[in-house]
Structures are given as C-alpha cells and as structure tokens.
Structure 1
Amino acid sequence: MNAFMTNGTLDFLQKLNDKYPTIDFFLMNSGTSTLAYYEDHKKKVFSAGRAYEVLSQSGTLQEKGYVVMNNIPVTDDGKAMFESKFKQREKEVDGMPGFQAFRLLRPKKGNTYVVLTQWRTEGDFDNWKNSKKFKETHKNQDTKPPAYFADRPFVTSYHMFDPDKI
C-alpha cells in the first residue's frame, strides 16, 4: 500500500474531497500549515506531494485526533538496518491509552522516512513520551545518533482538521 501527503491552503485541500470522492483524505492543521494525507494502492493525485510505501502499520486512522510525524533522514546504506529496527518495535505503542494508528512510511524519492502515530489527544501522546516503555525504547538516543541517520531527525505534529471549529 502507498501513502501520499501534501501541504497547501485549507481552502484548496478541502476541495480534494469534491474532486476525488472515492478517496478518504485526512486533513491536518499545525498552526498556519495544513496537510492532506491519504492511503491508496496506487493512485497518486497530488502533483506536488510526497509519496511513500507503507512498510508497517497498526490501528486505523481516525477523523479526530493528534498526529505526530517523526521525519528521519536515513543513509542509503542504513535503510535495511533502520527498517529492521522499526519493524521490531512497531507494536510497542499499540497498547498505550489513546493510541489510534501507526505507520512506517518509506519515501519513494529521497531519504526521509516518516514514522506516523495518531493519538486520541495531545495529552495521550505526552503520556506515551513520559512512559516507562518510551524511555526503555529510546534509552540510547540521548548519546550519539545511529550511524544510519543522514541528518538530524525532526518532528512535525498536527491536529486533525475539525470543520466544526472554523
């Protein structure tokens, strides 16, 4: 399965539902930025977007919630090791309160993977970050980044778009 995302204005992205009624778009806001995300087996509808292969998934994306995307640039030589490490850890968040969905996304172009998690609320994500399980999983990351990192990872977070709050 593939995943696609693009950024744009809210007005423009809201029109996607009318233009492509068979695709379930998820709209997300972060301050002044809006992102559209969808999953499909092959259909790419964004002319200026990012395409990914879904390597691993759990849970179901919801219309409401809080989304965190860890954007991790990985060297070509380190891709196999990175994917293996994440596949071993993929089910660690499943049982956490407020967890809704997980996706490990491999870029079709470039080297920046996306680890997407969706939570019921931002507080649920914060509880996960402060949990013993999280600390065990990330215990060695405070020292030196893994050799397969091509650059410094960065996090983006979004609230699912709620049309009732316009």
Structure 2
Amino acid sequence: MNVSMTNGTLNYLVKLAAEHKEDNLLLMQERDKTVAYYEGDHPSFFKEGRDYEVVENVGQVQSSGFVVMNNIPVSDEGRPVFEDRFKKRVGQVENMEGFQAIRILRPKKGNTYVVFTQWRNEQDFEDWKNSKEFEKAHANSGPQHKQKPSFIDGKPYITKYYMIQPEE
C-alpha cells in the first residue's frame, strides 16, 4: 500500500479531491494548515507530495477524527531497528478507546518516518497519552527520555490535525 500527503490551501485541496473522487482523498486541517491524505495501491498523483511505504497498518483511516503524526528522523542504518520496534510494539494502541487507525510510514525520499495515528477525538488521544499502556509502549524511547535511541537522526516533532469534510 502507498501513502502520499501534500499541503495546500483548503480551496485547492477541495478541488483536487473533487478531481480524484475515485481515490477517496481525505482532508485534514489545523488552523491554517491543510493536508490531503491518499492511501491506495497506485502511485500518488500529487505533484509535490510526500510519498511513503506502509510498514505496518491497523484499522481504517476515516473521514472524521483526530490525527496525530509523530515525525521521526531515522538514520539509514537504524531503519531496520526502528521498524522492528514498531512491529513488536507493546502498547497495544489499537485496544484503546477511540482508536481508529495507525500507519507506520517509511519515507520513499528523505529520512523522516511518520507514525500516523487516528482517534475518534482529541480527548481519546490525550487519554492514550496519559495511560499506562502509553508508558509501557514508550518505556525505552518515549518523550520523557533524555537520551534518544541511536537510530534517531534529528529532532522528532508532532503535528496534529482534525479530519474535515468540506462542502463542494
């Protein structure tokens, strides 16, 4: 499965979604930032998209909900270790109340992986973040650790969005 994302104005991305109805393009927004999200079997049609391969996926990305993307730069030699950690993750995020989907996305260009999670709402995400399951999942490399794993190749950052369904 391929995933691609691109940024643009809301008007432009709504128009793009209308032109590609068969591709089920999803839109998300936070303040003045709007992102179009595509996942499917064929290559991206975005002119300036960020393309990914799916390392792992659970659940169905939906047209409503709250999205959190943990953007993590990973060294070339650290990629297998990083991916293996997620394949063996302990936290069972998919069993949390309000969980909708997770995608571990390997960049086709660059070094920044995206851990994409979708929740029913922002409170469900906050409940996950404050849970014992979250602590367990991040025991070796979570946000509270001063020393990052050796495979981290830069400063990770988080982006958050609300799925939107604009009128055409």
Q: Secondary structure at the match of 1:155?
A: strand
Q: Give the structure 2 partner of residue 9 of structure 1.
A: 9
Q: Which residue of 1 aligns with 2:156?
A: 153
Aligned-pair CA distance for 1:91: 6.8
- Aligned residue identity for 1:38: Y
Structure 2: distance between partners of 1:139 and 1:55: 21
C-alpha distance in structure 1 between counterparts of 2:153 and 2:109, whole Å: 15
Paired residue total: 164
TM-score, normalization: structure 2? 0.94
Structure 1 stretches lacking a partner, 5+ long: none
Q: Percent identity?
A: 49
**4+ runs deviating over 4 angstroms:** none
Please state how far the C-alpha of 1:77 moved relative to its aligned partner: 0.7
Post-superposition CA distance 1:60-112 (Å, at most 9, x none): 11111000000000000100000000111177111100000000000000000
Return the alpha-carbon distance in structure 1 between the equivalents of residues 66 and 50 of structure 2.
21
Q: More displaced, 98-107 or 15-24?
A: 15-24
1: CA distance, partners of 2:92 / 2:159: 20
Q: TM-score, normalised by structure 1?
A: 0.95
Q: Tell me the distance in 2 between the aligned counterparts of 1:137 and 1:93.
A: 8
Distance 1:114 1:52, change over 3 A: same
Q: Is the 8 A contact 1:58 1:91 kept in 2?
A: no
Q: Report the RMSD for the aligned CA atoms in angstroms.
A: 1.3
- 1:56 paired residue number: 56
Q: Which runs of 5+ in 2 are unaligned?
A: none
Alpha-carbon displacement from aligned partner over 1:30-68 (angstroms, at most 9, x marks no partner): 111000001021232111110000111001111110000
| Superposition pairs of residues 15-94 of structure 1, within 5 angstroms | 15-89=15-89, 92-94=92-94
Provide the rounded CA distance (Å) in 2 between the counterparts of 1:90 and 1:74.
20
Distance in 2 separating the partners of 1:104 and 1:88: 12
